[in-house]
Structure 1
């Protein structure tokens, strides 16, 4: 049917909504939404916070580095967005609760949670990894995301556009030699994403993840600058370069906002072609 309506003997029959073209493609704006970004003081988290603010979101920012968070918040406020800063660790239940309380006190709701906080592991073989390192990496990268999701659920349930974006890694799907703890934590985060997507779909909460490859961040400096290991990593990236933190921002905006309203339980890879080999 080409016409918007079909008139028959004075009655009006509207065209099938499935056949109506979009008036305009969905955009990546987050106007009117409140987002919580963990690990926002540097690297990927900082880039995501700036991108979300530029897209119209108000923000709760958390990380352990209070000074860096405060500087970031001042920059975002100068651009006209509201920001709450809560210094602390996703591994501390009190700090997690304080971030949720800040969102409820200021806005009375939370629409988006970006679980970005994470730490790397030592580049050692598994027999050299002690219990403390294993527990620390799993505790922050997987346990921290779980804790934030669980704490944020009451507020997310109030939103009509609720979304969780977990920042995983290419190593959540592709194992990494000498990265047992890190790979296990990110693989677990992928399964947490899928499980929560199933559990929370009926609540109207979408849960997705993004899996970056090797980006130019503080976490990868040692590997990137190592003469042998850096060259080996580049040789495995079809695009032949390390990514920039800002290059995953659009993908996160897509998953966070209304443009992805029918997307849940999925992972977007931003890895320079690593997993396509």
Structure 2
């Protein structure tokens, strides 16, 4: 009989988390470390990663700090190479790096604004999937978790580029899941709703914040650590019969 508790453990496994310096990526990195994983963490600010690595030493696992930008395909390739050189394998990836710098009516979005969001959120996710996938396909095993958003499937004002990028992430997830399933690599998505992070703080503090809370059946915005369990589940053997799936964690926001 399968031991579910054991399946959720990540002892001896190497997990790469992008966007790990702050917010949801940081919270998921903490949860994965608590579950026993050795981590490779990526973000653009090395100071954030070093602070995270220092805090994770209490859990006993290794932490490899690898600053960089996921929108740079050469940098992503180099990062994956450093992970495999340092650990010998790559068991799971949490693709959390993302931006949403503009809250602008669509007719005012510039070409540069549009491209910036797609470069990081969609192209960056593909680069990480591609390079990590090469390692996992050779191993014959691995779990890729792409962080999407409730707005991949639920409309909202002034976030056209962000919504389009996350819709693309979910389509990419399904395509890779089908393509790589017979070679032991699972690809799923995790779609958060609204959580308290630096990225969402301005929006939640504005007049839109009340509307968001009122639209959430649980009546509140999530705390970042509340996403950790879903990340551990999708990275671990507990979800070994799942691929091409999106798990939504949104307090019921999309349940209406």
Judge same fold: TM > 0.5, yes or no: yes
* 1:104-159 deviation line (CA, Å, top 9, x unaligned): 11111101011000001411111100000100001100100000111112211244
- Return the alpha-carbon distance in structure 2 between the equivalents of residues 271 and 150 of structure 1: 28
Question: In the alignment, does 2:115 pair up with 1:135?
Answer: yes
TM-score normalized by structure 2?
A: 0.96
* 1:42–1:198 distance in 2 versus 1, CA, 3 Å: same
Q: How does 1:50-89 map to 2 (within 5 A)?
A: 50-89=30-69
Q: 1:275 to 1:74 in 2, by over 3 A?
A: same
Structure number, greater radius of gyration: 1
- Equivalent position of 1:221 in the other structure: 201
Q: Normalized per residue, which structure has more helix? A: 2
Q: 1:232 aligns with which of 211, 215, 218?
A: 211
- Structure 2, unmatched stretches of 5+, are none
Aligned to 1:36: 16
Structure 1 residue 23 displacement after superposition: 5.1
Q: 2:245 aligns with which of 259, 263, 266?
A: 266
- Structure 1 residue runs of 4 or more that deviate by more than 4 Å after TM superposition: none
What does residue 5 of structure 1 align with?
Answer: none
Q: Which runs of 5+ in 1 are unaligned?
A: 1-21
* Deviation of the 1:161 alpha carbon: 4.2
- Give the superposed CA RMSD: 1.2
Shift of 1:160: 5.1
Matched, 1:180 2:164: no
Contact 2:141–2:183 (CA under 8 A) maintained in structure 1: no
Q: 1:147 aligns with which of 103, 112, 127?
A: 127
Spell out the pairing of 1:114-133 with structure 2 (5 A cutoff): 114-133=94-113
Give the superposition deviation at 1:34. Answer: 0.5
1:161, 1:257 within 8 Å by CA — same for their partners in 2? no
Count of residue pairs brought into register by the alignment: 255
Counterpart for residue 18 of structure 1: none
- CA-CA distance at 1:94 after TM superposition: 2.6
Q: Tell me which of the two structures has the higher relative contact order, counting C-alpha pairs closer than 8 angstroms and 6 or more residues apart.
A: 2
Instruction: Judge conservation of contact 2:145–2:234 (CA < 8 Å) in 1.
Output: yes
What is the CA distance between 1:275 and its match in structure 2?
1.1
Write the distance in 2 (CA, Å) between the matches of 1:270 and 1:23: 26
Q: 2:231 aligns to what?
A: 252
Cα drift, residue 61 of structure 1:
0.5
Q: TM-score by structure 1 length?
A: 0.89
Moved more, 27-36 or 180-189: 27-36
Aligned ranges 1:1-16 → 2 under 5 Å? none
Q: Is the 8 A contact 1:113 1:164 kept in 2?
A: yes
